[in-house]
Amino acid sequence: MLSSRNSLAFLLFGLCNSYAFVIMLSAAGDIVVKQKPKLNNRTDVCYEEITEAHCLSISTGAVLLANIIPCILVQITFLFFMQRVPFGIRHALVVLCQSLGLLIVAFSNTVSGSLTGVVFASLGAGIGAVNCLALSSHFPKSVVAMWSTGSGAAGITSSLSYAAFTEPHFAHLSTKTTLLIMLIIPFFYSIAYWIILEIPDTVHKIQILNPKTYIIKEIIYHSNDNQSNENKKADTIVEVAEKECLEMKTAKIVVEKTDKKALTFVSKLKLFVVCSFLSLKLQN
């Protein structure tokens, strides 16, 4: 049975993991504005005469690429070696990447520096997604639904919060101040794992003073009770289906020898369904 603490933890995992990722998308326009194009008119309020196009060398598409490509690459490559890395270290790496991403973008005065921060936030989102889904294998399947709910809510809450903080008619805060406020998200992400989550015994735990525990030398695959019960039920169903299929085939042979019309349509349909299920199960 899934406890309320674990449900809340995975809900926060999904919410906080995608929060910085969406924030970078929302702040894409503000990041690009950090470029300083050469202007003939130095007035910041209005331009009495426009003598050249005030174009930017880098568009918001660069921010979108920097926010998506690292995340995809991490999700593809991290699967090959993450089994050796304990969940605690993975989680700390996610928190570090998220915090660095927000800090670098907040204090950077150039687009290249801001894009570096976007890359760190993207790496944190990619590692966090793989980490949370792998961690869910030690819990009932319903935790995946909670994580998905948090991920979906992150798209709405993060964009709305950034708009509310930077909108002149609301909080009217600068981009730097808004991103610094968002540092509370990695803090909640840490609390969700190290305080709220009830870590089971099947999860490898590290000891800070023992570096040997920083790498998992022997990988042991565990299956929870729910999966074991489901496997037992599936085996029982297969055994019953085999018996019914054998009985139906025997009955069909006897009927064909005596009277072919004795086998009703319902019996034929039942025989077809049971035998089809059995053949698919044997193929798998």
164 and 254: one domain? no
Residue 199 identity (one-letter amino acid): I
Residue where a domain terminates, one of 154, 183, 214: 214
**Token pair for 56:** 């930017």
pLDDT at 49: 65
Going residue by residue through the chain (284 aa), what tens digit of pLDDT does each one get? 568 899 999 999 999 998 988 999 888 888 877 655 444 444 455 656 666 655 666 777 888 899 999 999 998 998 888 888 899 999 999 999 999 999 999 998 888 888 999 999 999 999 999 999 999 999 998 899 999 999 999 989 999 999 999 988 888 899 899 999 999 999 999 999 999 999 888 888 888 888 788 888 766 655 555 555 555 555 666 566 667 666 666 655 554 544 445 567 667 777 777 777 666 666 65
pLDDT at 33: 75
156 and 279: one domain? no
Domain-located, residue 45: no
59 and 121: one domain? yes
pLDDT at 232: 59
pLDDT at 219: 64
Residue where a domain terminates, one of 189, 214, 239: 214
pLDDT at 46: 62
Domain-located, residue 137: yes
104 and 189: one domain? yes
Q: In sequence order, which ranges of the chain are alpha helices (DSSP H)?
A: 4-26, 28-32, 60-77, 87-107, 111-135, 142-166, 175-181, 184-191, 225-258, 265-283
Question: Strand, helix or coil at 55?
Answer: coil
* Burial readout 144-172 (b: 16 or more C-beta within 10 A, e: otherwise): bbbbeebbeebbeebbebbeebbeeeeee
Domain-located, residue 208: yes
Domain-located, residue 50: no
234 and 126: one domain? no
Boundaries of domain holding 210:
4-36+55-214
In angstroms, the CA 20 to CA 66 distance is 13
165 and 235: one domain? no
Domain-located, residue 43: no
In angstroms, the CA 67 to CA 22 distance is 9
In angstroms, the CA 142 to CA 31 distance is 38
112 and 245: one domain? no
182 and 237: one domain? no
207 and 247: one domain? no
Considering its fold, how many domains does the chain have in total?
2
Contacts of 176 by beta carbon, 8 Å cutoff, 6+ apart: 106, 107
Residue where a domain terminates, one of 214, 238, 267: 214
Question: Strand, helix or coil at 263?
Answer: coil
Domain-located, residue 278: yes
182 and 138: one domain? yes
In angstroms, the CA 59 to CA 151 distance is 27
Domain-located, residue 170: yes
pLDDT at 204: 82
258 and 126: one domain? no
169 and 276: one domain? no
**Token pair for 232:** 């037992």
Domain-located, residue 46: no
